[in-house]
Amino acid sequence: MHHIDPSLVDWSRAQFALTALYHWIFVPLTLGLTFIVAIMETIYVKTGDEWWKKTTRFWMGLLAINFAIGLATGIIMEFEFGTNWSSYSWIVGDIFGAPLAIEGIMAFFMESTFFAVMFFGWDKVSKRFHLLSTWLVAIGSNLSALWILVANGWMQHPVGMRFNPDTARNEMVDFWALLFNPNAYSKFLHTISSGYVLASLFVIAVSSWYLLKKRDTRFAKRSMLVAASFGLVVSLFNVTTGDDSARQAAQHQPMKLAAMEGLYNGEKGASIVAFGILNPDKKPGDKQEVFNFKVELPYALSLLSFHKLDAYVPGIDELLFGEKERGIMSAAEKIEKGKAAVAALKAYKEAKKAGDQEEAAVQKAAFEAKSEYLGYGYLNDPMEVVPNVPLTFYAFHTMVLFGGWFILMFILILFFTMINEIDRKRWLLWAGVLSLPMGYVAQEAGWITAEVGRQPWAIQDLLPVGMATSHLTTSPVMITFWLFAVLFTALLIAEVKIMTRQIQIGPEGEHHV
């Protein structure tokens, strides 16, 4: 066990969080806009209407800007696994590396190849081949997301592997279990559908701006009709995938679910907090009130988590301190078993090195009896298993609140667009413009919920974040953090400036002030 420098862990986490948060500004727009562009081009090919070609090319230009800048942050993030998280890469590289390699070889290659045809191939290839290229870019970009989220889903719920005590590495034994991990596909579907929602909000925001300016109205209304229709369908689908994600958390990450709902005391027929303000002084195990104010939906959490109105949902206190009547082991007991596993693993290696096969067999058996708690052996305080409750709770509820608003807005915009009244509803057009930043906040809040909620684990119950870092000093991580912060901010400013200029020029190619 190497010495853990807390400042190195904090700066490594901060750098990865910075990269991930910036990366996720660009990715969801690409995921959704590729499909919206493909739908628009399909309408063009079916109808032969040059207006749809012009509409498609305009949105494709904005997609190209976002696609190019999004690549930079994604590549840096993958490199960080080797630079800042080399211990993690060593311990689980056999498993984690496989989906990332497939993503690079298959999905990224496909989307990059056909992106060139899609963007530069107008009037150089046939209409149908160009349309095929556009759809393959959409499929390829979403396949990239699939493999990356398979890897992330495995970190949330590790399956299909075994720990090899001889190498101290986790090795894959079932690729299909990894691929069809319920956590992986629920996370994939929820993540990509949220990206589709954001892309719909983007198209609506730009189109609303045109209508507010009373310019390019035919283009704006057509774009808005496609985006609102697409957005409403994928928003409703997003609700179902969110439900499945919450149920996966209930089964495999109960502490995360408890933090998401601010549930300190487990109960049967548990309620969902629709809106609440947490008591900032509340600590696990004390008798203080959890909320200063809350609005609840009775029985909803039990129904959401286990599809039973009277199902028991454990709270933070039960998961931390244990509850023997329900078979819930305390974190302290798991840590004790984990430390015994760590000691047995060390003794096994020493016996094997000394050539004492009999002692090695005894220690290996002792290790395997407690190996499922190995990760807990690297924790020192039971309180470490409790994530940041306020951050997880507020991030989750922000995401849900905004998601509900988006569904309502899509319905209103679709209705008023279909009856040709949308340009008279200036309040709704302003709502369309202002909902775009809300969409980005909801995106980031979703990832904060997913990643902060599973702390302290790099891999759930197997590897704490502190044990996943590289053997570095803190200084280079601090320096690169600030360098990346400046670089990513510059890229974001550049994207916003280029996009706003293109939007001002408009689909007709004439600059408007």
Q: Provide the sign of the torsion angle of the four alpha carbons 226, 44, 119, 145, taken in this order.
A: positive
- On the question of pLDDT at 325 being above 90, the answer is no
- Please indicate, yes or no, if residue 510 is contained in any of the structural domains: no
Give the C-alpha separation, 128 to 425, whole Å.
Answer: 38
- Percent of the chain clearing pLDDT 70 (strictly above): 98
Query: Of residues 111 and 196, which shows the higher confidence score?
Result: 196
The whole-number average pLDDT for the span 399-424 is: 94
Statement to judge: residues 306 and 412 lie in one domain: no
Residue 74 counted as domain residue: yes
Query: Residue 316, Cβ neighbours under 10 Å: how many?
Result: 26
SS (H, E, C) 101-121: HHHHHHHHHHHHHHHHHHHHC
Give dist(CA 437, CA 414) in Å, integer. 20
Give the pLDDT of residue 123.
84
- Which residues lie across from 161 on neighbouring strands? 172
| 470 found inside a domain | yes
399 pLDDT above the threshold of 80: yes
Average pLDDT over residues 259-276: 92
Tally of structural domains, the chain: 3
Task: Characterize the bridge pairing of strands 161-164 and 169-172.
Answer: antiparallel
204 lies in the same domain as 352 = no
Q: Is the pLDDT of residue 252 over 80?
A: yes
For the chain, the 3-state helix, strand and coil shares in percent, each to the nearest 5, are 75, 5, 20
What is the band of 423 on the pLDDT scale with cuts at 50, 70, 90? confident
Closest by alpha carbon to 239, among 205, 190, 278? 190
> Per residue in 34-85, pLDDT tens?
999 999 999 999 999 988 999 999 999 999 888 878 777 777 887 888 888 8
Residue 88 lies in a domain: yes
- Single residue among 294, 310, 326 that ends a domain in this structure: 326
Amino acid letter at 171?
Answer: E
Strand (E) or helix (H) holding 388: none
Tens digit of each residue's pLDDT (9 = 90 or more) over 458-503: 998 889 998 888 888 899 999 999 999 999 999 999 999 999 999 9
- 119-157 confidence digits (pLDDT tens): 888 888 899 999 999 999 999 888 888 888 888 888 899
pLDDT above 70 for 1: no
191 plus 92 within the same structural domain? yes
Comparing 106 with 443, the larger pLDDT belongs to: 443
Verify that 341 and 318 share a domain, yes or no.
no
In a domain, 512, yes or no: no
User: What average pLDDT score do residues 399-403 get?
Assistant: 95
pTM of the complete model: 0.90
Find the farthest-apart pair of alpha carbons in the chain and give their distance in angstroms, rounded.
Answer: 85
Please report how the helices 109-120 and 50-83 are oriented relative to each other, as an axis angle in degrees rounded to 10.
Answer: 150
Residue 14 belongs to some domain of the structure: yes
User: pLDDT by residue (tens digit) across 275-302?
Assistant: 999 999 999 988 899 999 999 999 999 9
Same domain, 419 and 463: yes
Question: What does the alpha-carbon distance between residue 140 and residue 148 come to, in Å, rounded to a whole number?
Answer: 13
Mean pLDDT for the stretch of residues 428-442 = 96
Residue-number span of the structural domain to which 247 is assigned: 6-253+387-503
Question: Do 239 and 313 belong to one domain?
Answer: no
Highest mean pLDDT among 117-131, 344-358, 432-446 belongs to: 432-446
The pLDDT of residue 115 is 85
pLDDT category, 510, cuts 50, 70, 90?
A: low
My answer on whether 232 and 271 are in the same domain is: no
Residue 194 falls within a domain, yes or no? yes
| Same domain flag for 121 and 238 | yes
* Residue-level pLDDT at 512: 43
Q: Phi first, then psi: give them for residue 174, nearest 5 degrees.
A: -150, 95
Check residue 511 and give its pLDDT.
45
398 and 479 share one domain? yes
Residue 509 counted as domain residue? no
Count of other CB atoms within 10 angstroms of residue 464: 22
Say yes or no: 322 and 345 in one domain: no
Three-state SS at 457: strand
**Do 116 and 234 sit in the same domain of this protein?**
yes
Check if the beta carbon of residue 76 is closer than 8 Å to that of residue 19: yes
Q: Which amino acid is at 88?
A: Y
High-pLDDT (> 90) share of the chain, %: 60
Out of 293, 309, 326, pick the residue that ends a domain. 326
Position with higher pLDDT, 110 vs 317: 317
Q: Please indicate, yes or no, whether residues 466 and 336 belong to a single structural domain of this protein.
A: no
What is the Cα–Cα distance from 439 to 445, expressed in whole angstroms? Answer: 10
Cα angle 409, 412, 414; round to 5: 105
